[in-house]
Structure 1
Amino acid sequence: MNHNVQSSARVGVFVDSNNIRMNGGYGMRYDVLREYAVRDGSELVRCNAYLSFDRVRAEEDDMYRRGQANYTDNLRDFGYKVIQKKVRRYDNGDDRTVTKADLDVEITVDLLRQSKNLDRVILATGNGDFVHLVRALQDEGKRVEVLGFDNVSGDLRRECDQFVSGFLIPNLLPFRDREKGADEEEWGELGSRVRGVCYSHTGRGYGFIRYMKKISQKCWSTNTRDEESPYGSAFVHDSSLPEGIDARRLPSRSTVFEFDLASGEDPEDTWQAHNVTVAAR
């Protein structure tokens, strides 16, 4: 069977940038997100990023102003339409100023209007307020995929057609504990650092972590024994697990591990997870 047939589906990417940045996705690579969106050969029709802009702070803080300008310029270079909303300031009556820039309405209106020309929607957010929006899009026959990092609403996870943890997509989020130039091996190669979840544990002192080796049109195929599956499996001994992880609670899809891919004592052995840390839980 030929699995390389290009899809004729039309896809749109809508990023709640404020929510993503504040919930584990700071530094997310928007170019990689585009690559992930068209992994099956779909046509990318819409590509929107929604973020706030503090005009008062920009007037007082030149570094903030230049940083925001560079950030939005990069997004536009990647082909994103940038929708900015000015931060509003309120006096809470306690001699403190509260800032607010809620973009839920803008995202909802744009999605309801622009999704008419789409078959599939990727909504990058963890905000549970979008549950009803997801239902409305599905009622119109759209497939809705949600991508998020930390603090993703459980209702949103359950309502969408597919939830994907951004931590698990190769190269979408840089490793914060790695110096520039430290990643000499490509994600998924022996010696590289990757992220994954423990999908199997024997209860006898070891388990296995599944990780995505590469972005592929068969991202739904999690069977690591399938030659066309983009997923790999790494052996992990309980002694290698980070402090605070109770092996009796494994397997777990909610705990995301970061680790180095190392070879076993026998070249034919399954690769092993070394230097394991927790990325999210």
Structure 2
Amino acid sequence: MKKIAIFVDVQNIYYTSKEAYGRQFDYKRLWQQLGYEGEIVIANAYAIARNDNGQIKFQDALRHIGFEVKLKPFIQRADGSAKGDWDVGITIDIMECASSVDTIVLLSGDGDFSLLLDKVRQKYHVETQVFGVPSLTAKALIDATTIFHEINHSLLR
């Protein structure tokens, strides 16, 4: 059975799904869909901890589905901008597991991950899959993955 590792850039998926469709991504449906392809051996969701009740319930729901939720503190800068980027953490986790899985699934539209996907495909010969909102996913990321899955109404709630 194929071993699958899932990595979710939660903020990216939340905001792109909301902007494009005005709806939320359905993580339970994703889990079911990927479960038909093989065994999910790693499932990490990377989020920012703002500690509001809605976010805590959402994170608990992700855990209930089977995700490990990794949190970083929300940092508000003096100029009003915010920081909460998980790119390096996601990259490290993908690199650490790439030799022990058959498929790496990334949920993000961030083109910065294109180099990472190229590297793991070349070095570890793994299949890569990206789920992203088509109009808000970097072309470089779409080009770097083995399979691009459009987030559309079938994966929304």
Fold-level similarity (TM above 0.5): yes
Equivalent position to 1:29, from 23, 26, 29: 26
More strand by share: 1
Query: What does residue 99 of structure 2 align with?
Result: 116
RMSD: 1.3
Query: What does residue 235 of structure 1 align with?
Result: none
Deviation at 1:53, TM superposition (A): 1.5
Greater gyration radius = 1
Query: What does residue 112 of structure 2 align with?
Result: 129
Deviation at 1:99, TM superposition (A): 1.1
Query: What does residue 72 of structure 2 align with?
Result: 85
Q: Contact 2:17 / 2:25 at 8 angstroms: preserved in 1?
A: no
Deviation at 1:39, TM superposition (A): 2.1
Deviation at 1:142, TM superposition (A): 0.8
Deviation at 1:29, TM superposition (A): 1.3
Query: What does residue 56 of structure 2 align with?
Result: 69
In the TM superposition, structure 1's runs of 4+ consecutive aligned residues that sit over 2 Å from their partners are none
Deviation at 1:136, TM superposition (A): 1.2
Equivalent-residue separation in structure 2 for 1:98 and 1:158 (angstroms)? 31
Q: Contact 1:48 / 1:82 at 8 angstroms: preserved in 2?
A: yes
Query: What does residue 42 of structure 2 align with?
Result: 46
Q: Contact 1:37 / 1:122 at 8 angstroms: preserved in 2?
A: no
Are residue 16 (structure 1) and residue 9 (structure 2) matched?
yes
Find the residue that maps to 1:109 and give its secondary structure. Answer: helix
Deviation at 1:88, TM superposition (A): 1.5
Residue type matched to 1:105 in 2? V
More helix by share: 2
Residue correspondences, number: 151
Deviation at 1:89, TM superposition (A): 2.1
Residue type matched to 1:52 in 2? I
Equivalent-residue separation in structure 2 for 1:22 and 1:126 (angstroms)? 10
Find the residue that maps to 2:8 and give its secondary structure. Answer: strand
1:5-31: CA deviations, max 9, x gaps? xxx210111111100001125521111
Deviation at 1:137, TM superposition (A): 1.0
Q: Contact 1:19 / 1:125 at 8 angstroms: preserved in 2?
A: yes
1:102-138: CA deviations, max 9, x gaps? 0101100011112221100110100000011101110
Equivalent position to 1:138, from 121, 140, 143: 121
Equivalent-residue separation in structure 1 for 2:98 and 2:64 (angstroms)? 23
Percent identity (aligned): 26
Find the residue that maps to 1:27 and give its secondary structure. Answer: coil
Equivalent-residue separation in structure 1 for 2:77 and 2:53 (angstroms)? 25
Indicate the structure whose relative CO is greater, using CA pairs within 8 Å and at least 6 residues apart.
Answer: 2
